Structure 1
Amino acid sequence: MLPKDYLDIHHDDSQWYICLAQKNNGEWEQHMYHISQIRQMTNDDPRLNGLNKYYGLNAFYCPSRKGEDVRHIRALYADLDCYNVGLKPHEVAKKLQEEYFEKKIPTPNVITFTGRGVNCVWWIQHAPKGAIKSWSRMNNFIFEQLKPLGADSTCASDVSRVFRIPGSINSKTNEKVQAFIRRQDKYHLGTLLEEWAPWNTEKREKQAAVKKKRAFKSRFTLKTLANARIKDLETLQYLRNRDGVVDGYREIASFLYFYNKLCLVTNEEAAFNEVLAYNKSFIKPLNQNELIGNKKYIEEKAEEWKIAYNLKEFKRRENGEINRHGLIFSNKKIIELLKITDDEQQFMTTIIGEEEYKRRERIRQATNRRKNGQAERKAYLQAQKQITDNRLLKVKELIEKGYKQKQIVEELGLSKGRVSQLVKQLKKV
């Protein structure tokens, strides 16, 4: 499979940024590309071809390959360093097929032979960053099952992982990285957990008991709230740059960015350098003097906030009482100041209004109902029936063209067993 063809499949509906990297003479080089740039690349692009080329399995909301900056989780994966356990790649492939697939682990969408080892990748339906704990639990389950085959423990919890690009060359063996697609349909992360790695009853009861004893606690502490708002301000900048919005929010966004940064760090100059970098990312950056003009005031208010935070003196002010706790902004106020739209709020972590909160709550409740087998299950079954009907139509068309079952398997990327089932189903019609 050619490099670009594979990336088009793996990141078919990705947004944001993808990492491409290479290793030259032991030196690691990586670059973050927006998905629109990757889609413009071709199969002979030097960034995808040649020695030791790598791609990021997940998508990032900004040009940074840090776990905290992941926006969309695209896949589960396992890196099998089979040479560490005395096995060859073809021996691992045989064991996977005979002893593991659909017995200990679900069948992966892709099996990649990297030259010395084997990678397995399970594509999952769009999972947001909020699903990272579920992702980690399932990825660790897969790792535990594949330990005897040399599974790499660091891969189990690394959400920013990169793998070799299919079609590139492994310089250690001078072999081309080969990918074999075993399954086209993406998995649903929640369904995988329910079927393969469910919580046991005892553990659920313990967690429920602990949760019951705890008093209600906000999802955010004061510091994690400041950090989340910084990320949301970066997201807002990206969205408006994408839409060509130049004016009307830069001053306030930079003000809030600097203030929240100062609440988290002690080095004022380092924080100011970060707001300068943030400013440079606007389509039309502000004049540096505009930022310097507010610098002293923001530093004073941030210092007030830190004192109140360390003394645990945050409290509601009485009418007329002077605020000595720095600058306290509600989400409602920030949305109003920055004129954040309902559509933009859907991409935010914490700067959201009441309607967006209710929308997310409805989705959460609907997901819980689906897990309990209620009404949403019907929609799921209907969607699965549509997928089967579409496949039947494709198989019928290929049979009419004279294709054999082996050729249909290669054409559609389905397993032999699945193609055989579809052919039998067509004969009954």
Structure 2
Amino acid sequence: MRTGLIVLALGAPLLLGCGDSGDSEEPNDCPTTGQGTLEVTIRGLPSSTASIVTLRNGNGLRIIDASRRLEGLSAGTWNLLPEPTGGSGPLIRTAYDAPTSQVCVRDGQTATATVDYALVPSSQKLWLSTSNGAAELEAFSAESLGASGSPSATVLLDSTPAIPRASGLAFDRRGNLWVALGSGEIRRYPARDLGASGVRAPDVTLTGSALRGGVPGPIALAFDRMGNLWVSVGFSDKVLRFGAAQLTASGSPTPEVELSGLGEPSALAFDAEDNLWVADSASTGSRVHRVGSVRLGTSGTVTPETSIDAKPTPDGVSFSGPSGLAFDEEGNLWVAYVASGIVARLTPREQGDAGPRTVTPAVWLDVGGPRELAFDEEGGLWLGYDSGDIARLSPGQLAATGAPTPQTLISSADLGVTHGVAIYPAPANLPLFHGLD
């Protein structure tokens, strides 16, 4: 039996090898009669890291999680579609990804294909958007975050064009970093450019009247389970959805969904049931809203399923200006109240009842001026802290009310005022699109 190989990167044909005849067929010339065999080799991953590769050929579908010899495949062009996968590591995991490719399987022949995974450069880092710091976007490696200190940033990222008023950050599944700009844009910086310091250009920029019709523009970002990107917009007091298909190229797309009636929306987060939580930053307010997943498909003025106000404590601690939202693995919603310098916990029970309600959080922490929040792999909570520092509260410190000294305090000279906070990949078991689990 002869063996042959034709592999082509999607969108850019590339001949890696050929059969005995020396043919160099394009994908459309690959014969579709008969059956053949495909040997797939997956490499580049640590032994403890799983892989998932989907193979498609018309109506044919195979999914493999390791190197395999696949017999009886329909002849023709097969697309190899690797999924990004999470590795291991303290505090923040590594992540690996591989390019898509194509292979021609011929009748009576054995084709071979290799899936080469590599470390995603944006992984195993804590990412920040800052003002008055050493760069517009900064990252600290997990290794540098293991103890308090003054480490230099691992990555200092400036942009061309510049990043005016960067605020919210969000990662997609492949480790590309999305940045909300209050000036009226959403930009994507590709994962391949995020491994080292330098000046980078976005590969996708979204703009248009829905984003730049006033000031402030986009504030916060969140991906849903389907890969749609949601953004809160300040000047219109709306929450917008851009579909996954609208995120592949620059332009001024019309949002698929526009939601109003949520006060002055700022931070966004999805829970494990795909409900959207929205922080309402109206002056003196402490409200967070839950919009049910069934209501997220159409535009209009929404009535939240639940609206929760945090009532002051008996000793006079108030909760004002919700600016950050994050769920932990137990389903508790943590809310940063920037105007009060407080982070508070809302338990699943406190979240659950329908309609407007007022609660006094059983656990709240006085932590300076927090904005956005992010949990790490070990359950620690990262946030912007006083005087431009960033801090980590340990799981134990999150268990009781108080004014704890953070377990880890990073006082780097590179830091400015922290706005957005994001980790890639997201910790396992959290309801985040970039969790890779």
Q: TM-score band, normalised by the shorter chain?
A: under 0.3
Q: By percentage of residues, which structure has more helix? A: 1
Q: Please give the TM-score of this superposition, normalised by the length of structure 2.
A: 0.20
Tell which structure's C-alpha radius of gyration is larger. Answer: 1
Q: Please give the TM-score of this superposition, normalised by the length of structure 1.
A: 0.21
Q: By percentage of residues, which structure has more strand? A: 2
